[in-house]
Amino acid sequence: MERPAGVIVEHVNKAFGREKILRDVNFKISAGEIYGIVGNNGSGKTVLMKCICGFLKPDSGTIIVNGKQVGRECDFPDGLGVIIETPGFIPNLSGYKNLKILSSLKARIGKREIVESLKRVGLDAGMKKPVSKYSLGMRQRLGIAQAIMEDPDVLILDEPFNGLDKAGVAKMRELLKELKAQGKSILLASHNAQDIEVLCDAVHEMEDRWE
């Protein structure tokens, strides 16, 4: 029996002026699958992810997340966890307080879920240090915690291992494997070929095809 698709991308095109960033992109990500996306800088990986999240509107094509068409049936898909580019946090607050503020927007989770998400990425929920004093790797861990804290069905992760040391990368790879085993649909962009090889069930290669 075929598993339901968390993400379906069909014939998606996007241009900025004369620059055609996305041209006829097609793929689907089933539940319990990690789908890799690779390509050089400027090939459109981040643009594609922003289209899937509803942050950018494609010029044509269809994107369906959790059964709803993005831009038509929903603006920002429900059940979506996202890291795109550098996560932005309030610098003078702790990691826990940042996540508490973000969680209040939907009011679906409480302290237990926030603490658990921080624990899963290797951060201490009781740490008072403001985010401005975090290393790049700690900020990245906090971004991952934010993406997973509401237990989303679909994760869109743009270079989630940036700034992590070897141990941190290993821990985050294990976390993604756990999330996959729970039936999450995960789209992963990484410059590290080993991340893609170790984690991904399938890969979509973005081409530099601007005109």
Residues of the chain with pLDDT under 70: 1-4, 208-211
pLDDT at position 2, please? 55
d(CA 52, CA 9) in angstroms, rounded, equals 8
Q: Give the separation between CA 58 and CA 87, rounded to whole angstroms.
A: 23
- Domains in the chain, ordered, with CATH? 1-79+154-163+187-211 (3.40.50.300)
Q: How far from 36 is each of 71, 100, 140, 194, CA to CA, in Å? A: 24, 30, 19, 11
Cβ–Cβ under 8 Å, residues 187 and 7: yes
Residue-wise pLDDT tens digits, 83-127: 987 777 999 999 999 999 999 988 889 999 999 999 999 999 889
Encoded tokens for 177:
């494997």
Quote the pTM value.
0.89
Task: Please tell me the predicted confidence (pLDDT) of residue 34.
Answer: 96
- Beta strands 185-189 and 19-30 are unpaired
- pLDDT score for 3: 65
Spatial separation of the C-alpha atoms in residues 71 and 112, rounded to whole Å: 33
